[in-house]
């Protein structure tokens, strides 16, 4: 067997295991000569060390604290093949334009992790290490999951293509709306919104993330009224439509009970919130595969740790984990709407969800090449402050495999919810038609919409109502590399 | 109250005014340019879960001329002008291997649509099924 590579200044043998405290980088956690194996899990961290801590030591500390290390030397390491179990920081890059930060590349042997368990993977990678005192800030930017480990995961229960086949909807983005107001509607009133929006032309309606089973509307009541609405709308349009019934609950058993009831009523789709936790997400994903149910994930909570650049984790890593854990839909940004989303960052999220393979592309935040090993595609969902007048931009930035969700942009229509839904559907179909005909639809978007509004009054009224609405704020989560710059390899 | 004008809105462009022949040809040309195979299907049973409409012809994997593909639409209309006809564009590349675009190019003159049949079950649960008025008659006698 080849001897493991040991970096400069590394201690070995009796010297390495003398009781006491030694620097992480001299304990085997900093190995600049290490060549990652095809089967290693790789992670890229943005590290802001405390003053006086050099980059190698900080990177080694992160590798150590996310794998085998504790604060002092322990002789029991010597009972193991410790070189294997130690994570290895193997490369450090400066962060462009941020002198106090750097990127550290860390490799983990695949055997550090339990197969088919996001909970176990993340307990190491984003576990104790994020509270470690020697670093002021730490952010997980990207991961490379080896094919061998990916293959232990089920992935999305349905996937984009099978979802389209089940719904019989091709060649255009899907349309949805979140029922508003978020809180307070009774089951009967809630179902009214669902019926109007679906009958008017949307493919999906949605529970909001915080609609579970509150005093104003208990879950069974919601499910029953929503399914009446869905089936009435199906009959009115001869289409397959759905309402994302949120099965998020306080306990695991309660969640499954709600999912079973959704199935009994014939729903094609259920929904969960990210705050369920990874174990529950994987459980309901397997239930969904077994029961032919599309699984929608609302990313409630993610911005608490994904938005700021100096600490937490990038949302693209959440996208990776969720494709592994197995969801069919995930909210991934709108570019033009009311929520955070730099265009390049959002493209990185969408590619993570939809591509079979992503090459290294620092401008998108891809620090590693990733092969997806036939895991199905996840449908990204664009939701939050979007309206029919932006249809050309939405199609341009987000493409065809996406659910465009116009909540306010449907329900807030001056002529009512059905009119709002129809305006969105007509705007979408006209834009897709123009794109397919080879029209420069980004340049001529407003013209295309105006033309369609001549035969569709509701679209005209939508355009009149929201024509000046934009959300031009600077993003906080932006790429560190501009598309022109190729970083040193 | 505003109500959408149609009661069968399957397909990519059902909310637009009926496509003209030139518009249909433009969509076919786009599909062929994308490398997709055109096929034409018809039915007198437009239930949303009726996956298998009758195939007018085999998918035209080798037809690169949009006019030739459109001719099949016209031929199908001549025979089944009283039924639903759609154009499908099939993409056989890895990771899709499915329909990429699908739109209606012919409708019956009269579209009676569907209604919901409810079967009441325990605890207010309801089992729903869609019923097509047209399929009350046997094949061949529908949409006349």
Q: pLDDT tens, A148-200?
A: 999 999 999 999 999 999 999 999 999 999 999 989 999 999 999 999 999 99
In a domain, B129, yes or no: no
B9 to chain A, any CB pair closer than 8 A? The answer is yes
In a domain, B26, yes or no: yes
Decide if B95 and A377 are in contact by the 8 Å CB cutoff: yes
Q: Name the residue range of residue B58's domain.
A: 21-111
B90 to chain A, any CB pair closer than 8 A? The answer is no
CA distance B73 to B71: 5
Cis peptide before A181 (omega within 30 of 0): yes
The predicted structure's pLDDT at residue A481:
80
Q: Which residues of B touch A265 (CB under 8 A)?
A: 125-126
Closest CA to A77 of A64, A89, A90: A64
The lowest-confidence range among A69-78, A103-112, A247-256, B102-111 is A69-78
- Averaged in consecutive runs of 10 residues, what is the pLDDT profile of chain B (144 residues)? 73 96 98 98 96 96 97 98 97 96 96 94 93 89 85
In a domain, B132, yes or no: no
Q: Which candidate in A206, A243, A296, A298 is catalytic?
A: A298
In a domain, B60, yes or no: yes
- B interface mutation test: which of A436, A439, A452 has the most B CBs within 10 A? A436
Work out how many domains chain B is built from and give that number. 1
CA distance A65 to A180: 45
Decide if B114 and A433 are in contact by the 8 Å CB cutoff: no
The predicted structure's pLDDT at residue B3:
58
pLDDT digits (tens, 9 = 90+) for A67-97: 998 888 899 999 999 999 999 999 999 999 9
- Report the pLDDT averaged over residues A36-64: 96
In a domain, B116, yes or no: no
pTM: 0.94
Q: Is A252 a catalytic residue?
A: no
- B interface mutation test: which of A201, A221, A238 has the most B CBs within 10 A? A238
In a domain, B138, yes or no: no
Going by pLDDT thresholds of 50, 70 and 90, the confidence category of residue A477 is: confident
Mean pLDDT for chain A overall: 93
- Report the pLDDT averaged over residues A367-380: 97
Q: Strands A329-331 and A379-383, how do they pair? A: parallel
- Output the domain CATH number for residue B50: 3.30.190.10
In a domain, B93, yes or no: yes
Residue whose token pair is 């449908």: A379
The predicted structure's pLDDT at residue A4:
43
Going by pLDDT thresholds of 50, 70 and 90, the confidence category of residue A2 is: very low
B120 to chain A, any CB pair closer than 8 A? The answer is no
Q: Is A298 a catalytic residue?
A: yes
The predicted structure's pLDDT at residue A108:
98
Quickly list DSSP for B81-120: TTSEEEEEEEE-STTT-EEEEEEEEE--S----EEEEEEE
In a domain, B68, yes or no: yes
**Partner residue facing A170 (CB), from B6, B101, B123:** B101
């Amino acid at each position: 067997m080849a001897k493991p590579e040991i970096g400069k200044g590394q201690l070995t043998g009796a010297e390495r295991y003398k009781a006491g405290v030694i620097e992480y980088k001299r304990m085997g956690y900093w190995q600049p000569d290490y060549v990652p194996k095809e089967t290693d899990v790789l992670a890229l961290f943005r590290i802001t060390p405390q003053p006086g801590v050099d980059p190698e030591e900080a990177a080694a500390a992160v590798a150590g604290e996310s794998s085998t290390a504790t604060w002092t030397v322990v002789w029991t390491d010597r009972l193991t093949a410790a070189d294997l179990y130690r994570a290895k920081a193997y490369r450090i890059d400066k962060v462009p334009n941020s002198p106090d930060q750097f990127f550290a590349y860390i490799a983990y042997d695949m055997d550090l992790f339990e197969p088919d368990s996001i909970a176990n993977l993340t307990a190491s990678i984003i576990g104790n290490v994020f509270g470690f005192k020697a670093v002021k800030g730490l952010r997980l930017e990207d991961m490379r999951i080896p094919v061998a480990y990916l293959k232990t995961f089920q992935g999305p229960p349905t996937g984009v293509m099978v979802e389209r086949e089940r719904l019989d909807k091709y060649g255009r983005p899907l349309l949805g709306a979140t029922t508003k107001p978020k809180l307070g509607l009774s089951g009967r009133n809630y179902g009214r919104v669902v019926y109007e929006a679906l009958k008017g032309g949307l493919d999906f309606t949605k529970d909001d993330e915080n609609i579970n089973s509150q005093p104003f509307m208990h879950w069974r009541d919601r499910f029953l009224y929503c399914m009446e609405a869905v089936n009435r709308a199906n009959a009115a349009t001869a289409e397959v439509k759905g309402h994302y019934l949120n099965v998020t609950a306080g306990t695991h058993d309660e969640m499954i009970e709600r999912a079973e009831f959704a199935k009994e009523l014939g729903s094609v789709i259920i929904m969960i919130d990210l705050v369920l936790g990874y174990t529950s997400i994987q459980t309901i994903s397997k239930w969904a595969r077994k029961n032919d149910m599309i699984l929608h994930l609302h990313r409630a909570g993610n911005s608490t740790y994904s938005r700021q650049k100096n600490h937490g984790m990038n949302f693209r890593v959440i996208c990776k984990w969720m494709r592994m854990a197995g969801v069919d839909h995930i909210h991934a940004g709108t570019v033009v709407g009311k929520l955070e989303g730099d265009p390049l960052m959002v493209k990185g999220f969408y590619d993570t969800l939809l591509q079979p393979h992503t090459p290294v592309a620092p401008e998108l935040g891809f620090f590693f090449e990733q092969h997806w090993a036939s895991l199905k595609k996840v449908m990204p969902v664009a939701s939050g402050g979007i309206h029919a007048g932006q249809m050309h931009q939405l199609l341009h930035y987000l493409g065809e495999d996406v659910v465009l969700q116009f909540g306010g942009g449907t329900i807030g229509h001056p002529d009512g919810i059905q009119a709002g839904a129809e305006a969105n559907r007509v705007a979408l179909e006209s834009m897709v038609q123009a794109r397919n005909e080879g029209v420069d639809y980004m340049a001529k978007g407003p013209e295309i919409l105006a033309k369609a509004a001549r035969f569709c009054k509701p679209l005209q009224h939508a355009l009149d109502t929201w024509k000046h609405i934009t959300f031009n704020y600077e993003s906080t989560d932006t790429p560190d590399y501009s598309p022109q710059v190729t970083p040193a390899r | 109250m505003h109500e959408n004008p149609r009661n069968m809105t399957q397909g990519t462009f059902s909310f637009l005014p009926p496509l003209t022949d030139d518009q249909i040809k433009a969509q076919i040309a786009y599909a062929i340019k994308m490398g997709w195979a055109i096929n034409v299907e018809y039915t007198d049973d437009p239930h949303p879960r009726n996956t298998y409409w009758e195939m007018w012809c085999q998918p035209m994997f080798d037809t690169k001329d949009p006019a030739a593909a459109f001719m099949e639409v016209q031929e199908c209309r001549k025979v089944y002008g009283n039924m639903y006809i759609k154009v499908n564009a099939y993409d056989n590349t890895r990771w899709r291997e499915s329909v990429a675009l699908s739109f209606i190019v012919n409708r019956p003159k009269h579209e009676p649509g569907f209604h919901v049949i409810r079967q009441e079950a325990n605890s207010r649960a309801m089992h729903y099924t869609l019923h097509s008025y047209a399929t009350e008659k046997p094949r061949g006698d529908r949409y006349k």
